[in-house]
Structure formats: structure tokens, C-alpha cells
């Protein structure tokens, strides 16, 4: 049903969503025609392109408190499609993905896409560290193999349709109205040690331009979305969670979410 190649669109501050989408695309054995990484603010500020029914799009985002991050939501809502098959993926830190996949389905359907398949994969939690690991190393080799197999099944499914209008409804877990999500909290939770060498890696890693280079690479709290990309990216390990609510949450998740969860996949039927 497609000979134009696949388009990948993802928001992936710590790289886990990107890894999963790349592997799904490989499993589909179709060329990737375009990759749109909306993690960078400059990409999100560009006008989104339009898609037709001969396109196939893979869209992915992490789960923050059971929801899709607002910056990703805003971009996805601005996309324009006309009966375009779309594969939806959310990546969560081994707690729950709650309403995120349903939210992504609703957004894309309202934008003119036809959700053909969806998945919830596990990625290392943003708050995970060596001291307090939460789903460390996820997605692992097994996860990525399942992502590839998911891609193969999607390709087989789509090849069975002559046109997107034949794709039925995609049923995914979640509730509407959606849960509240992260809200508009703003407080300091990252500390910087003397190991910082002022390399600026944290500045480029941040998807919100929330690292103030002129003030010792401190976090601009009212911009921060708690993705911890700056912590993960720091080559010196100079950034970490300070004592307080976020570190307490990390410890709680370490204690209560230690049992490894497995990816879940969902497919639409025939209309």
C-alpha cells in the first residue's frame, strides 16, 4: 500500500523512543524516506508537512506521568494528513503508560491520520541512575527484537489493505478524559557538581532550551519538563537529582517498579 518510504516523527530527549522507532522501521523492511526529530526546538518551530494516503508515518513519544509531553502534543496536533496510515508508539519507564497511547491515537486521528497499529515499549526511566536504577538498559536487545517483529507484522497487515479506508478502528488502553499528567510544576531538582567542565553538552541536549549557560549551566525551572536529558548526556556525570521530591520519586519507582514489564502491541482490524 506504500512505495514512497516511511516517515519517522519522534520526540525523544533521552533517545529511547528513537531507538524503538528505528527498529520498528527496520522490521517493516521499507526505506525510511524522512526522519523528523522534533526533540530540537528549531525543528518544532518549522511548519509541519502534510501527508497523503500513499504515505506511511511512524510517530513516537515518551510517556510523562501517563501523558504525551505537551511540546510533542502541540507539534502532532499541527500535522495535516489525508487518510494517512500511522503507527503509534509510546515509551514509558516501566511504571504505566496510562492514557498516553489513547491520547496519541486521538490526536493523530483528528489530524487526518488512520491509526493502523500502536505499541507501548519500555525505556530506561528519566530518573534512573546507577544508585537508583529504574528499568536500566531498556530498551534492551529483547525489546528491540520485539520492535522489529512488530514492524514485520505491521508490514504484513498494511499489505493486506488496498487503501487506508479499509483499516478499521484501533483499540488501545486508556481513559478519556485523560489524567492530569505533569501539570505546570516548576521547581529546582538538578544539582551540578564540581565535575562540570563547562562543555555545554547539556545545553544542546535540552529540548526546551532550559539550561542557562551564562549562570553556571543551571536549570531554568519554568522551562524544564523533567526529561533529565541534560543529566543523561553529561559526559562528566556532573548533573544529578538533588535531594527532594524528584529524588524521592525515583527511589519510590525503584522500589515499586522493579519487575520488568514487556512491550504491548495493538493492531486495527478491517473496517
What pLDDT score does 3 carry? 62
DSSP strand pairing (113-122 vs 50-51): unpaired
Rounded to whole angstroms, how far apart are CA atoms 182 and 98?
Answer: 13
Cell 506511511 belongs to which residue?
56
- Per CATH, which fold does 190-241 belong to? Alpha-Beta Plaits (3.30.70)
Domain boundaries, the chain: 6-177+263-267, 190-241
pLDDT in tens, 111-124: 999 999 999 999 99
Q: Which three cell numbers stand for residue 161?
A: 489493505
Q: Which three cell numbers stand for residue 43?
A: 525543528
* Mean pLDDT, contiguous 10-residue spans, the chain (271 residues): 84 98 96 96 94 96 97 97 97 98 98 98 97 97 98 95 94 95 82 97 97 95 96 97 95 96 96 80
Phi, psi of 237 (to 5 degrees): 65, 30
Q: Which CATH number fits domain 6-177+263-267: 3.30.930.10, 3.30.300.30, 3.40.50.360, 3.40.630.30?
A: 3.40.50.360
What pLDDT score does 2 carry? 61
Q: Which three cell numbers stand for residue 34?
A: 524522512
User: 107-120 burial by CB neighbour count: b if 16+ within 10 A, else e?
Assistant: bbbebbbbbbbbbb
Rounded to whole angstroms, how far apart are CA atoms 153 and 68?
Answer: 25
Q: Work out the burial of residue 261: count CB atoms within 10 Å of its CB; fewer than 13 is exposed, 13-18 middle, 19 or more buried.
A: middle
pTM: 0.96
Amino acid at each position: 500500500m506504500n512505495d514512497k518510504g516511511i516517515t519517522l516523527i519522534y520526540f525523544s530527549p533521552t533517545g529511547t523512543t528513537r531507538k524503538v522507532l528505528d527498529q520498528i522501521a527496520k522490521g517493516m523492511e521499507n526505506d525510511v524516506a524522512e526522519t523528523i526529530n522534533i526533540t530540537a526546538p528549531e525543528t518544532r518551530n518549522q511548519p509541519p508537512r502534510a501527508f497523503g494516503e500513499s504515505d506511511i508515518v511512524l510517530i513516537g513519544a515518551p510517556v510523562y506521568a501517563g501523558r504525551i509531553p505537551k511540546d510533542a502534543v502541540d507539534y502532532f496536533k499541527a500535522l495535516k494528513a489525508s487518510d494517512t496510515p500511522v503507527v503509534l508508539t509510546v515509551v514509558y519507564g516501566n511504571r504505566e503508560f496510562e492514557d498516553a497511547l489513547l491520547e496519541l491515537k486521538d490526536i493523530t486521528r483528528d489530524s487526518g491520520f488512520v491509526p493502523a497499529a500502536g505499541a507501548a515499549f519500555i525505556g530506561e526511566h528519566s530518573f534512573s541512575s546507577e544508585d537508583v536504577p529504574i528499568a536500566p538498559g531498556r530498551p534492551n536487545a529483547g525489546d528491540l527484537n520485539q520492535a522489529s517483529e512488530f514492524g514485520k507484522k505491521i508490514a504484513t497487515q498494511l499489505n493486506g489493505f488496498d487503501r487506508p479506508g479499509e483499516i478499521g478502528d484501533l483499540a488501545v488502553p486508556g481513559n478519556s478524559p485523560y489524567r492530569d499528567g505533569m501539570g505546570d510544576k516548576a521547581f529546582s531538582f538538578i544539582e551540578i557538581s564540581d565535575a562540570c567542565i563547562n562543555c555545554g553538552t547539556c545545553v544542546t541536549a535540552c529540548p526546551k532550551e532550559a539550561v542557562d549557560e551564562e549562570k553556571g549551566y543551571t536549570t531554568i525551572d519554568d522551562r524544564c519538563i523533567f526529561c533529565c536529558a541534560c543529566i543523561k548526556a553529561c559526559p562528566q556525570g556532573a548533573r544529578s537529582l538533588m535531594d527532594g521530591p524528584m529524588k524521592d520519586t525515583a527511589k519510590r519507582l525503584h522500589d515499586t517498579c522493579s519487575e520488568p514489564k514487556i512491550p504491548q502491541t495493538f493492531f486495527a482490524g478491517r473496517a
